[in-house]
Amino acid sequence: MVKITKSRKGGPARSSGPTADKPQHLLRVWEAVAQRVRQADRIVLFTDFDGTLTPIRRMPGAVCLSAAVRELLAKMARNGITVGVVSGRRVRDVRARVGLSGIWYIGVHGYEIYYPDNRTELFAHADHRRQIQLATRQLIQLRKVPGLSLDDKEATVAVHYRRASSQNRHLAWTTIQSVLAKYPNLHLLSGKKVWELLPDSRTSKWTAIQFVLRSERSRYRGHSLVFYLGDDTTDERVFEKMRGITVAVGKHQRTAARFFLYSPAEVRRFLQKLGDFATAKSLGRSATGGNGEGRLSRMKVTLDSARMK
């Protein structure tokens, strides 16, 4: 279990707790969800990457997306679903692993946004980046410690400890605490086997998603049904705030999500079902002449094989 923290001591900072109602298994109640999909004018799908689209690996650099899931995402985007991949990784990293152009990417927990038309935006002021640089210098000694790795993401800096001994984990933790004591404006984010220092607590996956939704709504009218899938505490903030279909992956307790799936393998089954609906909706519009919206709203998506690892 992981926590977003506002306090330097790691105390929970969630604005509200998990939902009183237990989440439902998404595939078991699919018919009810499908009804909402049918009624929507537009579908928006945001999904986390590690632990959601792909299983967690011991080495973060070894994670790659299966060709089948890549094709499912591409097919949905081509058929009018707005697709966004959301990650703690840098955009250039997650883009390389997903291997698609023409969709949204949100990186570094919301600090980076990559538009479908290839523009990039970094939501960190120069003084924030400067603070992270100073913190990184203090953490640099951890690079040589077995089992630890340092990830400088410009807007944030992360220490991964999945392969570290308990002694070396303790060393990482005490070093981070000394950095936080020196730079009290920084905020600590604890994820799955990773501690990350952020320049502030205002930017998050949720603020980035709101940004994308505002951009989408300025272009498309009608009722949008928004999906969000994720597996970590950074995703919990989105689950708490977002209306729509929120899906926790790999857990069905202590989550604010309304639905859950057991694994990335089940996520793939869900994507297949949603993709089939998108295809049917898209073809339906074409067959009936529709209002042209289906054709207008399609994203130009390409497989970007040169970027894939």
Give the residues lining the site for Mg ion (CB under 5 A): 48, 50-51, 231-232
Q: And the tokens for 269? A: 């089954």
> Residue 209, CB half-sphere, CA atoms under 13 Å: how many?
28
How many Å from the N-terminal Cα to the C-terminal Cα in the chain?
A: 29
- What minimum distance in Å lies between the beta carbon of 229 and Mg ion? 9
Decide if 48 is catalytic: yes
- Looking only at the bridges linking them, the beta strands covering 82-86 and 42-48 are parallel
d(CA 260, CA 228): 11
- What minimum distance in Å lies between the beta carbon of 251 and Mg ion? 11
* Closer Cβ to Mg ion, 37 or 248, answer by number: 248
Q: And the tokens for 210? A: 């709101």
Tell me if 202 sits within 8 A of 14, measured CB to CB: no
Q: Considering 48, 50, 93, 151, which one is annotated as catalytic? A: 48
Q: And the tokens for 76? A: 């949905």
d(CA 27, CA 45): 16
- What minimum distance in Å lies between the beta carbon of 97 and Mg ion? 13
* Closer Cβ to Mg ion, 112 or 231, answer by number: 231
Amino acid at position 271, single letter? L
* Closer Cβ to Mg ion, 135 or 209, answer by number: 209
- What minimum distance in Å lies between the beta carbon of 73 and Mg ion? 16
**Minimal CB distance to Mg ion: which residue?**
51
* Closer Cβ to Mg ion, 2 or 27, answer by number: 2
> Among all residues, which ones are annotated catalytic?
48
